[in-house]
Amino acid sequence: MRAEAEQLIESIKQSVGLLRRHLDVDAATRRLAELNAKSEDPNLWTDPEFAEKLMRERTMLEDRLSSLAKIERDLDDAATLVDLAEAEGDHAVEAEGIAALRALNAEGERRQLEALLSGEADANDSYVEVHSGAGGTESCDWARMLLRMYARWAERRKFKVELIEETAGDEAGIKSATIVVKGHNAHGWLKTESGVHRLVRISPFDSNARRHTSFASVWIYPVVDDRIQIEVNESDCRIDTYRASGAGGQHVNKTESAVRITHLPTGIVVACQSERSQHKNRATAWNMLRARLYELELEKREAKANADAASKTDIGWGHQIRSYVLQPYQMVKDLRTGHVSSSPADVLDGDLDPFMEASLAQRLSGRTVAVEDVE
């Protein structure tokens, strides 16, 4: 046990050292003091957008500084517990201390990975688009399941989720939908989820209970703020209006308030129907288009800086990143990292952090993994 304890302690100390250097604790502490002082200004909220950004930065710094301090305290407590238990020959307490070190080591690795989310748009909110693939009702239902999975993941992280657009399937599920996930580092965590997702299951829509394979695509791109200038010529765009679709009833807008914008040079299409006002939907759609064009520019920069980023731009129909198998066995496998879960129900209920962490770690290290596909 002692050898394992020493290895864990050393690993946690290394994580703490990396976190302290990345955060620059002295500078972060000074900056937090400045933000605390500004937050007490009674006129702060006269500019709500500025105030929200200030409070978000303040919350982020508080979280990082407090989590680092907690890891250091918990490390000291757990190491002391192991030493005392060993000296007294209390194996049960020693095992308890080592369990605490294991948990702390995992937390240190997670925080270390999160601290490395330093891409240009990683801290931003994020759009999540889901589109059903070929396969009719099956794929529409799968797209609905994926949308719920990302919404549940966001809820687990205390992120806010807003529905921007949804097009219902002919019989069940959705043909497409867009949500915005709001929270610090939302885009940084989600960005590796772009790609084609495959589902294998016994179809609930097949009276013969046959096994079906369904596909749906996910596209992730960051919400951009006003500080990022993206020039879009209106002459390069086609703007269409249509009636919002939905489940029916009093909440469905009977006027053509929904807006779809097609950027002709790139073929990018965005749509919004979340508001009853066409004016508001049009403004949101323009923001979404700017975000998509910004993400396209980020991809070009990343591809030039790092050859490994080519995998990010090579996302197309048939370029699947993950398989979810419900029959004849239970497994979710990421085809890029090799990470596997034997509990698809948990994954579909939002337990995505291990998959995201594995993808981010692979990007940061530049590693590639050859993984055999699942049936």
Q: How is domain 126-365 classified at the architecture level of CATH?
A: 2-Layer Sandwich (3.30)
How far, rounded to the nearest angstrom, does the alpha carbon of residue 136 sit from its chain's CA centroid?
Answer: 27
pLDDT at 194 over 80: yes
Tokens found for residue 68:
């680092």
Q: For the residues 60-65, what does the mean pLDDT come to? A: 88
CATH of domain 2-115: 1.20.58.410
The closest of 138, 134, 147, 131 to 195, measured between CA atoms, is 131
- Give me the phi and psi of 70, to 5 degrees please: -65, -40
Domain ranges of the chain: 2-115, 126-365
User: pLDDT digits over 315-345, tens only?
Assistant: 344 568 999 999 889 999 999 999 999 999 9
3-state helix, strand, coil in the chain (%, to 5): 50, 20, 30
Domains 2-115 and 126-365 share a fold: no
Q: Please, are residues 157 and 253 in contact by the beta-carbon 8 Å criterion?
A: no
User: For 23-57, how does the pLDDT look when each residue is reduced to its tens digit (9 = 90+)?
Assistant: 889 999 999 999 999 999 999 999 888 898 899 88
The pTM of the full predicted model, rounded to 2 decimals, is 0.65
Report the distance separating Cα 130 and Cα 112, nearest Å: 30
State pLDDT tens for residues 274-296.
Answer: 888 889 999 999 988 988 888 88
pLDDT for position 297: 78
Interval 209-237: pLDDT, tens: 788 899 999 999 888 865 556 778 889 99
What integer best gives the mean pLDDT of the chain? 85
Q: For 348-367, how does the pLDDT look when each residue is reduced to its tens digit (9 = 90+)?
A: 999 999 999 888 878 765 54
The DSSP annotation for 287-344 comes to HHHHHHHHHHHHHHHHHHH-GGGHHHH---TT-EEEEEE-SSS-EEEETTT--EES-H
Residue recorded with tokens 């209106």:
234
pLDDT attached to residue 314: 38
Q: Cis peptide leading into 344, omega within 30 of 0?
A: no
pLDDT level of residue 251 (50, 70, 90 thresholds): very low
What pLDDT, on a 0 to 100 scale, did the predictor assign at position 123?
83
CA torsion, ordered 339, 342, 343, 344, to nearest 10 deg = 70
pLDDT in tens, 144-163: 999 999 999 999 999 999 99
Closest C-alpha among 111, 101, 103 to residue 17: 111
Q: What band does 7 get if pLDDT is binned at 50, 70 and 90?
A: very high
